[in-house]
Amino acid sequence: MSEQHSATLLMSCPDQKGLVAAIANFLMTYNANILHADQHQDAGANLFLMRVEWDLDGFTLPMESFAAAFQPIADEHRMDWNVSLSSRKPRMAIFVSKYEHCLVDLLHRWRIGELGCDIPLVISNHEDCRRLVEFNGIPFHVVPVTRDNKAEAEAEQFRLLEEAGIDFVVLARYMQVLSADFVRRYPNRVINIHHSFLPAFDGAKPYHRAHARGVKLIGATSHYVTQDLDEGPIIEQEVARISHRDAVDALIEKGRDLEKVVLSRAVRWHVDNRVLSYCNKTVVFD
């Protein structure tokens, strides 16, 4: 079978009648075959949000002309929108420190074709993961970060990201806080993972502190990074039940499993253009 080439439109705008018809009629004008369509109305925010994907085979509007043709409709309905093509794989950079479980999972899923993206580079502040990354044929760059050189380190990271044409960044247990400048450069394009003890057990050794409190659930949260640290729009979460028989090591092991699965889901949904962020939360379309 030949690979299907499609386009995906993500949009949001003030809720009103006729939005689905306006988009569908526009696409039908150019002979579009709609493959998937999903929508959501947020009554509290008075917003309409939609994802629509269509087959480009037989679509008579050249995609380089799409923006100009669609903009009058977008202006009329005050839409925020973007369109992406399945033929263009997004370029993902991975940031990692020493913990490798999330990195390993992402690389495996990428290698077997589960993640439809390219990985031009991995950036770390330590050498620990070099052999793993280079085994997968991906350039590995170490940019040391200290209290005194954070600005210089981020400048070097920006240089590497721009040279590689990066579209979005994944923090696969990267144990450094990004600056506000970094977040502004990649709005809703930096994905992080953390355990779901925050804020109850933030700081050092959260699993030890959670074990001491006798928690019954542990979890993991993946979210877009904002200037408010771990308060960005949540993409995915998962939990596991804990028994009184579970020692600290068992909590850490179960936590690692949750972290890598939750992060990979979030990355896959982002790559597939299924996530729309608004009002510091997200819609993840089916």
In this prediction, residue 1 carries a pLDDT of: 37
Angle at the Cα of 183 (from 191 to 119), degrees rounded to 5?
Answer: 45
In this prediction, residue 153 carries a pLDDT of: 97
Do strands 168-171 and 91-96 pair parallel, antiparallel, or not at all (unpaired)?
Answer: parallel
Catalytic residue numbers read 230
In this prediction, residue 4 carries a pLDDT of: 73
Q: How far apart are CA 39 and CA 49, in angstroms?
A: 6
Q: How far apart are CA 65 and CA 71, in angstroms?
A: 10
What residue ranges of the chain have pLDDT lower than 50?
A: 1-2
Whether residue 199 is preceded by a cis peptide bond, meaning omega within 30 degrees of 0, is yes
In this prediction, residue 199 carries a pLDDT of: 62
Q: How far apart are CA 241 and CA 248, in angstroms?
A: 14
